[in-house]
A = this chain, B = another copy of it.
Amino acid sequence: MTTYKAPIRDMRFILHEVMGAEALFATMPGTAEVTADLMDAILESAAAIAEEVLAPLNRSGDEEGCRFDNGHVITPKGFIEAYRAFAEGGWIGLSGDVEHGGQGMPKMLAVLFEEMIMGANSSFALYPILSAGATLAIARHATPELKALYLPKLYSGEWSGTMCLTESHAGTDLGIIKTRALPQSDGSYLISGTKIFITGGEHDLTRNIIHLVLAKLPDSPPGPKGISLFLVPRELPDGQGGVGRANGVSCGSIEHKMGIKASATCVINFDGARGYLVGEVNKGLSCMFTMMNYERLSIGLQGLGLSESSYQIAAAYARDRIQGRAANGPVNPQSAADPIIVHPDVRRMLLTVRANIEAGRALALYVASQLDLAHFHEDSSVRADAAKRVALLTPVAKAAFSDRGFEDCVLAQQVLGGHGYVREWGLEQNVRDARIAQIYEGTNGIQALDLAGRKIVRDSDGLLEGLADEISAFIKEQSSQARMQEFVVPLTVALDALLDVTRWLKEVSAREPDEVGAASVPYLRLMTLVLYSYVWARMAKAALAGLQTGSSDSRYYDAKLKTGRFFLARILPGYKSLVEEIRGGSAVLMALEADQF
């Protein structure tokens, strides 16, 4: 049976050879000490905890699931010990604020780490990733007192964090939430309401749980502009670093779900619970959204990590399993049949998964590099440019990695035939676990609407133009490289198609607002194909450079080029149909009356 191995060689290829991370980090004071050696050491340690601590609990966690017992949630066997080891390794605060006990590592490393833990055990990974998400909002927006009190405990893993947004009637549309915050004379608030779908809302891994809760003040305006953010501990700190009395926070039940069964998804009731304002009154949504760019990328990594895990299982199976004969005659004549990897269609499935993973990982590191620039760079104009790139690419990364992650887990499962449908091989669990990433942290339909609406049609900051300029500059830079033409020519054509249909979309949506929503999902997919072509071209450049060094890794670089060529020949052509689908327009969607559905 194949068990998860962190793809360190591939990660180092992108980090060092494609992105030149060490040189990038050297330009910024906050990251200057992050050398290639340090990065490699962190990747090795991360791989060890993912492979040795988390992966062994993945299937048992799924089988056992979380149990709900009278307000308490019991996580599966082994989770408490694993969480302790994980916390002691300092992983929860990996990219946390140094001043309060975080490690201050750049997002480019956190991205690779999160891909590993998501791939090894998504259910487990959600607990620390949610905590890390909560610390981001606190570090950015909370008062110095709240930071000093809560951040060290969250980074150390003694306490954990959640985000409480959704209510039963309000998911995508947070403007209509009902949870109330009553101001108290001491400056605190009493929070009352019920939140649903709270990941890690209750569990037995930490001594306390710190909820970040969206709620409305009595006199706040209706809609999204009347929402504030509060920090609400399950138990109030006792002032001496410990935990004091209960705070009117209780878990009503947990959900029974398709997957991520070892991750507790909770109904959380707040009954006049003491809460503390984070950020300004009525600015809760924007406080949440500053961390959303980080979180959405992390959720995308769930798709990527599970794809990688699925690929490893399917590729090993395809090399081992003998069944049928190669079309060009037996490759294994002494045996009753050939390994199924001789069949073109099995290769098509494996290469599709692999080409998507490698492009996705490269894009994830590209987005992370922009997050690092936006956070660490000294030059404010560099920070601003990077922030624009992040704004444009975050919805694409979240939706693309999770959509393709799910589809790729399904493809990998298909390689195993009936053996993929039964539990033993782990692929059916990967499919179930991957499915949620398309839904939470904003459904992928909402990501697409954010992209096509706010980031394209209503954008006035030149978001797409900035990206297109960068890609065009790369194409131009490569124009004299003969061996790069097979990669940059298709990229040029696809980029032109994107820019062309973008102009069309801006034009028609000025007349008909429904055109944005009608185009959004295929538009996001089209942009994904252009971005994947771009990073494939950059990977090809690095692979060609690697081949020229005459290193012993020549077969590795050769495989990169071949996978890139597969992408161009067999996946990129999808852009043509997407353009036509977009141009198919909104009228055919809006023609039916609601009762005709």
User: Nearest chain B CB to A13's CB is how many angstroms away?
Assistant: 14
In the bound complex, residues from chain B placing their C-beta under 8 Å from that of A562 are 588, 591-592, 596
Give the residues in chain B near A410, CB-CB below 8 Å: 406, 435
Given the complex, which residues of B lie within 8 Å of A520, measured CB to CB?
Answer: 344-345
**How far is B318's CA from A424's CA once the two chains are assembled, in angstroms?**
37
Residues in B with CB closer than 8 Å to A593 are: 555
Asked if A517 is at the interface (CB within 8 A of a chain B CB), the reply is yes
Would you call B343 and A517 a contact (CB within 8 A)?
yes
Q: Report whether B596 and A431 are in contact in the complex, using a CB–CB cutoff of 8 Å.
A: no
Chain B residues positioned under 8 Å from A569 (CB to CB): 584-585, 588
Chain B residues with CB under 8 Å of A596's CB are 555, 558-559, 562
Closest to A347 in B: B589
Contact B435 A589, beta carbon cutoff 8 Å: no
Tell me whether B591 and A565 are in contact (CB under 8 A): yes
* Interface residue from B265, B555, B580 paired with A573 (Cβ < 8 Å): B580
CB within 8 Å for A423 and B517 given contacts A347-B592, A566-B588, A580-B573 = no
Q: How far is the CA of A406 from the CA of B351 in the complex (A)?
A: 22
CA distance A562 to B594 in the complex (A): 13
- Does B570 lie within 8 Å of A584, measured CB to CB? yes
Per-residue 0/1 for A323-342: is the Cβ within 8 Å of any B Cβ (1 yes, 0 no)? 11001100000001101011
Nearest-neighbour CB distance to chain B for A596, whole angstroms, equals 4
Q: A447 to nearest B CB, angstroms?
A: 11
Within 317-372 of A, Cβ neighbours of B (below 8 Å) are at 318-319, 322-324, 327-328, 336-337, 339, 341-351, 354
CB <8 Å contact, A594 and B341: yes
Q: Which of A566-582 contact B (CB under 8 A)?
A: 566, 569-570, 573-578, 580-581
Q: Complex formed: what's the CA distance from A408 to B173 in Å? A: 25
A516 CB, min distance to chain B CBs, angstroms: 7
Please pick, from B345, B348, B440, the residue contacting A418 in the complex, using a CB distance under 8 A.
Answer: B440
The winner among A265, A323, A347, A586 for most chain B CB atoms within 10 A is A347
Please encode chain A, from 448 to 473, with 1 for each CB lying within 8 Å of some chain B CB and 0 for all others. Answer: 11000000000000000000000000
A406 to chain B: which residues have CB within 8 Å?
A: 410
CB-defined interface of A407-450 with B at 8 Å, one 1/0 digit per residue? 00010011001101111000010011001101110011100110
* Neighbour of A435 across the interface among B172, B259, B431, B559, CB < 8 A: B431
* Residues of chain B lying within 8 A (CB to CB) of residue A258: 421-423, 428, 431-432
Query: Complex formed: what's the CA distance from A439 to B171 in Å?
Result: 35
Whether A327 and B514, one on each chain, are in contact in the complex, defined by CB atoms closer than 8 angstroms, is yes
Residues of B within 8 A of A420 (CB): 439
A513 CB-CB contact with B under 8 Å: yes
Residues facing B in A370-427 (CB within 8 A) are 406, 410, 413-414, 417-418, 420-423
Q: Are B423 and A173 in contact (CB under 8 A)?
A: no
Across the two chains, which residue of chain B brings its CB closest to A335?
A: B176
A76 to B101, CA, bound (A): 54
- Pairwise interchain contact B255-A422, C-beta atoms closer than 8 A: yes
Q: Is there an interface contact between B576 and A344, defined as CB atoms closer than 8 Å?
A: no
A170 contacts the other chain (CB 8 A):
yes
Taking the closest CB of chain B, its distance from the CB of A147, in whole angstroms, is 31
* Chain B hits for A585, CB < 8 A: 569
Residue A315, interface by CB 8 Å: yes
- Inter-chain CA distance A197–B420, complex, in Å, is 12
Taking CB as reference atom, which chain B residue is nearest A329? B513
- In the complex, A431→B428 CA distance in Å? 12
Q: Which residues of B contact A336 (CB under 8 A)?
A: 176
Check if B414 sits within 8 Å of A318, measured CB to CB. no
C-alpha spacing A33/B584, complex, angstroms: 46
Q: With the chains together, A555 CA to B592 CA distance in Å?
A: 10
Q: Are A517 and B448 in contact (CB under 8 A)?
A: no
A77 at the interface (CB under 8 A from B): no
B581 close to A573 (CB less than 8 A):
yes
A223 to B, closest residue via Cβ: B336
Contact of A518 among B197, B345, B444 (CB under 8 A): B345
Measured CA separation A328–B514 after assembly (Å): 7
Tell me whether A439 and B422 are in contact (CB under 8 A).
no
**Does A590 count as interface, using CB distance less than 8 angstroms?**
yes
Complex CA gap A204/B562 in Å reads 54
Most buried by B among A256, A324, A348, A351: A348
Write the residues of chain A forming the contact surface with B, with a CB cutoff of 8 angstroms.
166, 169-173, 176, 196-197, 255-259, 265, 315, 318-319, 322-324, 327-328, 336-337, 339, 341-351, 354, 406, 410, 413-414, 417-418, 420-423, 428, 431-432, 435-436, 438-440, 443-445, 448-449, 513-518, 520-521, 555, 558-559, 562-563, 565-566, 569-570, 573-578, 580-581, 584-586, 588-597
| Cβ contacts A to B, 27 pairs, < 8 Å | A166-B418, A169-B322, A173-B324, A173-B337, A257-B423, A319-B597, A327-B513, A327-B517, A344-B514, A344-B517, A344-B518, A344-B586, A345-B518, A347-B590, A348-B521, A351-B592, A413-B435, A418-B439, A420-B439, A421-B435, A428-B435, A432-B432, A559-B592, A573-B577, A573-B584, A576-B580, A577-B578
5 closest A-B pairs by CB: A573-B580, A344-B517, A569-B584, A258-B428, A327-B513
